[in-house]
Structure 1
Amino acid sequence: MSGVIPHAQPPPDPRHDKPVHPQSLWRWRHNPLYRYTDRLQGWIALALLLLVPVLGLGAMFIAGGAAQHHYRAAAEHRKETLHRTRAVLTHDAPGHPEPGSAEARETRYPATVRFTDPDGRTRTAKTDVPPGLGAGRSVHVWVDKDGAIAEPPMPDAQIRSRTMGWALIAFVTVTLAGAAAYRCATVVLRRRNLAEWDTEWAETAPRWTTSP
C-alpha cells in the first residue's frame, strides 16, 4: 500500500447508529469518544443556561430602574421650568374624516391659538389640537420661559412604556450575548478537536496504511 497518510476523519455520529437517549445529550456523560473539550462545552452550555436568565432579569431591573428615574426626572424638570396655561383657538380646527373613531381620538391637527405668556403678554402660535374644535374653544398648552409653546412633560403612561421598552432591550441583549458566547466557545472547541484529530491520525495512520 502507498505510504501517503489519508486525511483524518472524525468518528461517526452515534446518533446515526441508534436512537438518541435523553442522557446522551449531556456532553459530560461518560463516553470513551468524548474529549475534555466536549465536556467543557457541556459545562459552558449549562453555566450559560443558568446564568443568562439571572443576568437578564438583573439587567432588566437595572435598565428599567435607570430609565424610569431618567424619564421621571426629565418630566419633573419640564413641569418646573414650563408654564401651563389656557389657549383659545382663533380659527376652527380641521375635522377628521371619521368623527368619533379611535383614529380620530388619537389624531391631532395644527391650529392657531392665542394665549398669555408668563410675562403677561398676549401671543399667538400654532399647536396640535383635537380635530373639529371650533374657534373660541380652549385647550391647555405648555409655554417655556421665552413664551414659546413647548412639548408637554412626558405622561406617566409614556414613562411606563419607555421603561418597559428599555427593560426588554436589556434582557434581549443579555440573551443574545449569551448565545454569541456559546457560539464562539463551540467554534473554538471544535477547531481544537479537529486539530487534535489530525495530530493523532498522523501518528496512527502509518500503522494502517504502510505495508509490512
Structure 2
Amino acid sequence: MRALVGLWRWRHNPLRRKTDLVEAWVACVAVLLIAVAAPLAGFAIGGLTQDALRQSVREQHEMRHEVAGTVIKKLASPPVDPDPETSSARDRHSRVLAGWTAPDGTRHSGAVLADLRSPDRGDRFRLWTDEHGQVVGRPLDDATATTHATLAGFGVALAAAGLVEGARRLVVWRIVLRRYDRWDQAWDKAGPDWGRTGTGS
C-alpha cells in the first residue's frame, strides 16, 4: 500500500522521467497479477483437474474389480533394477504364478506381482482385474486424485507468477535500454567540450 501511495505522490515530481512512471506502473500491475490472477488461475485449473480426476476415479472403480488371487508357486525374481525407487517398490512384492476367478466367472492364471514377502502355495492376496479377468493396475483413489489436483493448481499458480515476473523483467529491460539510448543522445548533443572552462563563449 505504501508503494501505491509513493507512486501517487511521485507523479508530480519534477525529476520524474516518463520511463520511471512506466516502470512503476508495470511493477504495480505485476504485483497485482501475481497476488490475484495467479492464485485464481491455480484455483481454476485445480478445480478442473479435480473434476476430471474424480470422473476418472469413478470410471476406474466401475471397470476394475478386486479379486482374490491364489499362489500356485513362487517364481524367480526379475534382475535387480539399479533405480532405487522402482527397486524399493518391487522389494515389497513377490513374483508368483497365481490363479484367480474373473468377475465374469472365468478362471485365469499367470505370472503376477503379489504383495507377499514370502509367498507359499495356497496363499491368497488381492489382485485387480478388468471385467474379463485381465490384470490391471489398482484404481485411482479420491485422496490421490485430490493430491494431484492440488499439485496441478499450485504448479499453474507458480507458472503464472513466473510468467508475469518474466514479462515485467522484459519490459523493464526494454525501458532501461531506451533510457540508455536517450542518455547517449543527450551526451552527443552536449558535445565533446562539455564541462570545459570557456565552453560556449
Q: What CA deviation, in whole Å up to 9, does each residue of 1:126-150 have, x standing for no partner?
A: 3332223433222222212442101
Is 1:195 the counterpart of 2:181? The answer is yes
Given the two structures, how large is their TM-score scaled by the length of structure 1?
0.73
**Structure 1 Cα separation of the partners of residues 44 and 131 of structure 2:** 35
Q: Aligned in 2, Cα 1:71/1:125: closer, same or farther, shift over 3 Å?
A: farther
Q: 2:103 aligns with which of 97, 113, 118?
A: 118
Given the two structures, how large is their TM-score scaled by the length of structure 2?
0.76
Where do 1:1-212 residues align within 5 Å? Answer: 29=10, 31-91=13-73, 107-130=92-115, 131-205=117-191, 208=194, 212=201
Asked if 2 retains the 8 angstrom alpha-carbon contact of 1:83 and 1:144, the reply is: yes
**Structure 1 Cα separation of the partners of residues 182 and 126 of structure 2:** 75
Across the aligned residues of Structure 1 and Structure 2, the Cα RMSD in angstroms comes to: 3.0
**SS of the counterpart of 1:149?**
coil
Per-residue deviation, 1:179: 1.1
Q: Which of the pair has the greater relative contact order for Cα pairs under 8 Å at 6+ separation?
A: 1
**Structure 2 Cα separation of the partners of residues 149 and 194 of structure 1:** 68
**Structure 2 Cα separation of the partners of residues 87 and 127 of structure 1:** 9
Counterpart amino acid of residue 98 in structure 2: V
Asked if 2 retains the 8 angstrom alpha-carbon contact of 1:90 and 1:136, the reply is: yes
Per-residue deviation, 1:41: 0.6
Asked if 2 retains the 8 angstrom alpha-carbon contact of 1:89 and 1:112, the reply is: yes
Identity %: 23
Asked if 1 retains the 8 angstrom alpha-carbon contact of 2:54 and 2:145, the reply is: yes
Per-residue deviation, 1:111: 2.5
Q: Aligned in 2, Cα 1:125/1:170: closer, same or farther, shift over 3 Å?
A: same
**Structure 2 Cα separation of the partners of residues 90 and 190 of structure 1:** 75
**Structure 1 Cα separation of the partners of residues 128 and 151 of structure 2:** 27
Per-residue deviation, 1:70: 1.6
* Number of positions where the alignment pairs a residue of Structure 1 with one of Structure 2: 182
Asked if 2 retains the 8 angstrom alpha-carbon contact of 1:27 and 1:38, the reply is: no
**Structure 2 Cα separation of the partners of residues 134 and 167 of structure 1:** 46
Unaligned residue ranges in structure 1 (runs of 5+): 1-21, 95-102
